[in-house]
Structure 1
């Protein structure tokens, strides 16, 4: 039981870090996406959980801008 609790704590902590990183990426994306052609790419980050996207899709979104 202690090991299971410890593992759960670590995973939730890393999940929080991942969410913070995704929020920072979204903030940076909105900061640089000032051109009108980038407005439809912004929709990717309108939801609450951009961290649930596969990393490759996030990279592709940044490459398109």
Structure 2
């Protein structure tokens, strides 16, 4: 029961994030060091709307 409610709250929170960011991506000319954004391939992923990202990459870009 608690797990189901938690899943519903998580789903609602993720939907809220999707609405707020509306497919926002990194600026096409964005660049940064590999320790934060990762490799050129990882940075390219941040520029494509709707791409599922690796949790490690998300952590590095949100810090």
The reply to whether TM is greater than 0.5 is no
TM-score bin (small chain): 0.3 to 0.5
Choose 1 or 2 for highest CA Rg.
1
Higher helix share: 1
Give the alignment's TM-score, normalised by structure 2: 0.45
Give the alignment's TM-score, normalised by structure 1: 0.44
Instruction: Between the two structures, name the one with larger relative contact order (CA 8 Å, sep ≥ 6).
Output: 1
